[in-house]
Structure 1
Amino acid sequence: MSDNELGVFLRTRREAVTPAQVGLPTGARRRTSGLRRAEVAMLAGVSVEYLTRLEQGRDRRPSAQVLSALADALRMTASERIHTYRLSKGAEGGFTCGIGDTTPGRVVRPTVRALLDGLEPAPAVLLNRVSDVVAHTVGYERLAGPIGLLDGTPPNLAWFVFTDSRARIVYPDWDQVADEQVAALKQGSFGTDRYSAMLADELTISAGKAFTRRIETLPGLPRANGIVRLVHPGAGELRLAYETLDLPADDDQRLVVYLPADGATSDALDGLDRRRQPVLRVVSG
């Protein structure tokens, strides 16, 4: 893991914001579509030297006022602002809200189990902070079982993506999926979580640079929703819209629900459902 998570995140965000988004001219001779340090410094009211120190990790304790100004300049969303604040506080050491000495949550509360039952026939999976598969719907088993995702003991989504040779066939957009897996692992108390560190060490040995490069360069802020393509041996290529729902912190778990993103996927998922439950409705937009 990078020891400069705040700097990595600020640089990544700067490179993702276009001049047009902040009202600056694009210019014909720009080498990157993102913002220059000088432009961000001007917008935030800080010096270029100070912004450089933050990005390089030579200064890791910006004030709340500076963080707020940078968040405004970089057009951060609410979740990105919270993430930035957590990274800055984490750099101070001492007290942490992390649970690194606690075994990753594997107990499913009865109400969460009832929620999973109510989501049938939709594919839905409950993951803990190290991406172990804790529980899932029958619909998810029909989706993930044939591709091998549930083969581990316990099954682990990150382990499958980075170490199983089938993953690059299952996920046509493997690089994007791998990015999201690393971003999910780097959330919260990753830097002080011995269980996450153990998984990271195992993935470093098994997957090498495909994993370590992402650990060093990607910020820990995965997308909460989107569309993922998946090639299923019995249903062909599927386009699935997913939504991630974080359970309360004490649960240490997140629920990911998948819905068909187009009519062909809806028909294919219905074909996998041997019990012939109601057809899943296509997500539009």
Structure 2
Amino acid sequence: MNQASNPFLAFIQGNREELIEKWELKMKKEDDQKLSSVISDHTYTNICNEYINILIHSFMNPDDEPSSKIGDFSQKIVQLGWSLRFLTTSLSDMNKILFEMMTLNSTEEEKMSLVWAFDHWIAPVNSEVLHQYASSWERTVSLQKIALQELSAPLIPVFDNITVMPLVGTIDTERAKRIMENLLQGVVKHRAEVVLIDITGVPVVDTMVAHHIIQASEAVRLVGAKCLLVGIRPEIAQTIVNLGIDLSQVITKNSLQKGIESALEMTNRQIVSLGE
């Protein structure tokens, strides 16, 4: 099928402004996340124009592979925070607006013919947009997961030879592995003599969590440093006792402040008040 048999190309080019205006108003009305409060009208207009450009390019080059423009367009949609539901609704609205404009004075037979043309010319473009959106979303989530993993067990130097690892949230096997890796790498990198693991932000310390902490403490000892467990709240202490967890081989303190004071003593330093 050649360009001349495409019923949409000339119509979209000739009615572009009206089509975009109607679609933009519909998008704002259907905005399920109220993004219009933080997204300018210019952004909506740009998105509409980019999609129209994709359609025109596809109509004029029907034998080409899906263009990189679709990938860029879909990635921009993800970056704007538009949900899959909002995207599919918006594309459907655009199709309805285009169909209504093109069939204003058409017969039923002409309308049915145009429905077939929609399936042939526009549906594949929409399908590729959704496919690229899903791929871009998966990449974004993957990158976010990696970033969160990097931040989930940071090792922070607070004094010479003293580092702190603040832990927040639940600790599963995958995160425990990350903690162990960061601890060992950090001890060597910062030449730490004492490492404080702060569990103030860990909601539950069960047998598995305690096992991972003991393993981490032993691993730190094997590379020549000492490990302190700090931030043990009363309810956590009670849970540890009730479960019969043995932390006798780990030095424990109830707060980070007490832990730092002990760490300074272990490295032959102390906090001295200068007075007035």
Relative to the length of structure 1, the TM-score reads: 0.22
Q: Which has the higher helix share?
A: 2
Greater relative contact order, per chain length (Cα 8 Å cut-off, separation 6+): 1
Relative to the length of structure 2, the TM-score reads: 0.22
